[in-house]
Amino acid sequence: MNPEPNEEIKEFKDIIENIHTAILFTRAKKNEWKGRPMATMKVDDKGSFWFFTDEFSNKVEEIWKNNEVEINYSNLTGNAYIRVTGKAYLSRDINKINELYSPFVQTWLPGGLNDPNLLLLRIEPQEIEYYYNGKSTHNIPQSKMLSHLINPPKYIDHIRENANLNVAY
């Protein structure tokens, strides 16, 4: 039996899962970053991020050439900002597709589970940087990611602490 993830990891996963939409950046022509919105299907207990995509999308072509990616999440009302860098992998694992699939996917892939272009996109994080409720954790390498999520280092935001900002909206 697999152990339950630590409460800190559950909290982090909840933050991501409650944001729903990420901006996924891939390396396009001339190696520039190209971003597009993606619906996060799941963050698993190993820390991998899962998305559905179309086999013939530009992002898939870009990932075949360079699987270095970045995912950005932001939730202004929840004061959460997350940046993930990692490697992208494509899969047709039917068991995983069935596990993660929801009718929501048909918005982009109208054929649903029978769509021959349906692919899974898995992002294995190498580094996570996140800000949540005034706490900040910077540059968490993959080898330390889980330990930092379990016991995030204390951080004092000297810029906000010492600034008197008047922000107009």
Tell me which CATH homologous superfamily contains domain 7-162. Answer: Electron Transport, Fmn-binding Protein; Chain A (2.30.110.10)
Read off the pLDDT band of 145 (50, 70, 90). Answer: very low
pLDDT given at position 167 = 33
Mean pLDDT, to the nearest integer, of 144-164? 39
Kindly report, residue by residue over 8-37, the tens digit of the pLDDT.
Answer: 557 667 778 778 799 999 999 899 999 999
The first and second tokens of residue 98, run together, are: 């069935």
Q: Measuring CA to CA, which residue among 128, 121, 120 is closest to residue 146? A: 128
The DSSP code for 115 is -
The first and second tokens of residue 85, run together, are: 């860098």
Residue 67 vs residue 151, higher pLDDT: 67
Kindly report, residue by residue over 131-141, the tens digit of the pLDDT.
Answer: 776 555 544 44
161 has pLDDT over 50: no
Residue with tokens 């204390």: 154
pLDDT given at position 8 = 56
pLDDT given at position 94 = 93
Kindly report, residue by residue over 57-114, the tens digit of the pLDDT.
Answer: 999 999 999 999 999 999 877 678 889 999 999 999 999 999 999 988 988 888 999 9
pLDDT given at position 1 = 43
Residue 149 vs residue 122, higher pLDDT: 122
pLDDT given at position 85 = 93
CA distance 165 to 154: 23
Interaxial angle between packed helices 7-19 and 142-150, expressed in degrees from 0 to 180 and rounded to the nearest 10: 100
CA distance 90 to 83: 21
Q: Is 48 exposed, middle or buried (0-12, 13-18, 19+ CB in 10 A)?
A: middle
The DSSP code for 2 is P
